[in-house]
Amino acid sequence: MKIVSPLATGHQVQLLQGGQEFFPALIDAIDSATHEVRLETYIFNVVAAGAKVAAAMERAAQRGVSVYLVMDGVGTPSLPPEWAGRFDRARVQWRIFRPLGRLGVLIPSRWRRLHRKLCVVDGRVAFCGGLNVLDDLYDPNHGELEAPRFDFAVRVTGPMVQAMHEATAQFWWRFQVASTARQSDFPAAWRALQEAVTLALQARIDADTTATATAAHGMDHAVKAALVLRDNVHNRTRIERSYRQAIGSASDEIIIANAYFFPGRKLRKGLIHAAQRGVRVRLLLQGRYEYFLQYHATRPVYGALLAAGVEIYEYTLSFHHAKVAVIDAHWATVGSSNLDPLSLLLAREANVVVDDAVFARDLRARLQQAMTEGSVRVDAAVYAHRGWRQRFLDRLALALTRILLFLNGTRY
């Protein structure tokens, strides 16, 4: 199998768990911005911590920083009028990606969503992970939560920031071109292209300056890492292949924490083969009911995994939203991509892959704690004898998922 993304050295990657670590770091970076902030997210919710992020973006724009915000049209159908007005007055440039419109989910092409969570500030620091701009103790569908949502992100400096900047700048430019083309405003599209090129060059200069400064100050522990994207053009299978390569080469241990877990045949076979050759495979999955299809369609795949010796833990302390993994105590990934059809076949996603024992050890310890203190291990005998109603709902969800994928023209 061809290597998905060669890992380059020279990066500093900091693991951030939950909003209590992520939002202060994000806000500090935005407050330090001097010329540009680019943020992409599935959900942008202006409650509690989300309002603090929105206020930081407003402050940045007011002092002359170019601020670009893209939100997904399903995760964020609209902004509250108060914040839409505040952003407009501050000159925050914000867009909603593919609003569903009147026909909504009846149009299969609209299932292709913006699910990645990326933020790049001044071309010198970037963030990637699973966290939306959404307070840890609040859920739009379930209200206040008694415990923080379980999720991770990374703060990155070094050469990878350039790749993140190019991804976000290119996406914004394409968005602008599509909008101006519909309005027959081609001069505006040309100006948008010129602006994107100028900012990309500035980001490259900033990244080189940061790398030089890092070397000059003797900052050690630069790690090998890479940005791995998934889209519907050039990068259709890169995230899945990065998982499969790491799983296929595992010799000791695989730990995967995934909120919505419904892997395709190749991924399932990879996990089963790993367990059969003596690798300890542990999955930390969603233990709380959130959505019908994502909850019930997952359960039918448990049987073969449990039979092969895979250990499955369901996180019950709060909602599990993480999409991370640690393999053989040195390979790790943190990002937005679930191992399910929506992420692996339809959505725009972004993961950071890190090959570093110190980083992997930190993430592994946090996952270990979540498995021992906030989860329930699935018993193979109990699973095999679950009630008829549970079996029916599981099979119904699985059938509906396959029908929806067929209508979208995808195989899984």
**Residues 177 and 313 placed together within one structural domain of the fold:** no
Which of 221, 253, 280 is at the close of a domain? Answer: 221
Same domain, 204 and 276: no
Angstrom distance (rounded) from CA 300 to CA 327: 25
Based on the domain organization, do 93 and 179 belong to the same domain? yes
Whether residue 242 is contained in a domain is answered as yes
CB 329 within 8 A of CB 253: yes
Q: 412 lies in a domain?
A: no
Same domain (yes/no): 383, 237: yes
The confidence score (pLDDT) of residue 212 equals 46
Average pLDDT of span 194-214: 55
Q: Are residues 364 and 262 in the same domain?
A: yes
Check whether residue 187 and residue 229 sit in a common domain: no
Domain end marker among 204, 221, 238:
221
Q: What is the pLDDT of residue 103?
A: 64
The lowest-confidence range among 177-191, 241-255, 360-374, 382-396 is 177-191
pLDDT of residue 214: 45
Q: Are residues 250 and 198 in the same domain?
A: no
Report the mean per-residue pLDDT for the chain.
Answer: 89
List the single range of 147-151, 211-215, 391-395 with lowest mean pLDDT. Answer: 211-215
Whether 2 is in a domain gets the answer no
Of 167, 193, 221, the residue at which a domain comes to its end is 221
Q: Would you say the pTM of this structure is higher than 0.85?
A: yes
Residues 295 and 377 in one domain: yes
Question: Distance (Å, rounded) from C-alpha 308 to C-alpha 286?
Answer: 20
Instruction: Establish if 295 belongs to a structural domain.
Output: yes
In a domain, 174, yes or no: yes
Q: Can you tell me the mean pLDDT for 361-381? A: 97
Locus of tokens 């943190």? 334
Task: Say if residue 217 is in the same domain as residue 229.
Answer: no
The residues assigned a catalytic role are: 115, 117, 122, 321, 323, 328
Q: Is residue 3 part of a domain?
A: no
Within this chain, do residues 57 and 176 fall inside the same structural domain, yes or no? Answer: yes
Instruction: Answer yes or no: is 83 within a domain.
Output: yes
Q: What average pLDDT does range 372-391 have in this prediction?
A: 94
Q: Which two tokens stand for residue 119?
A: 């933020």
Domain count, the chain: 2
The pLDDT value given to residue 190:
57
In a domain, 283, yes or no: yes
Asked whether the predicted pLDDT for residue 180 surpasses 70, the reply is: no
Question: Of residues 348 and 295, which shows the higher confidence score?
Answer: 348
In which domain, by residue range, is 91 found?
8-221
Q: Are 203 and 228 in the same domain?
A: no
How much is the average pLDDT of 80-100?
Answer: 95
Q: Residue 397 maps to which CATH number?
A: 3.30.870.10
255 pLDDT higher than 60: yes
Regarding whether 251 and 333 lie in a shared domain, the answer is yes
pLDDT at 219: 44
Task: Identify residue 373 by its one-letter amino acid code.
Answer: E
pLDDT, tens only, 300-342:
999 999 999 999 999 999 999 999 999 999 999 999 999 999 9
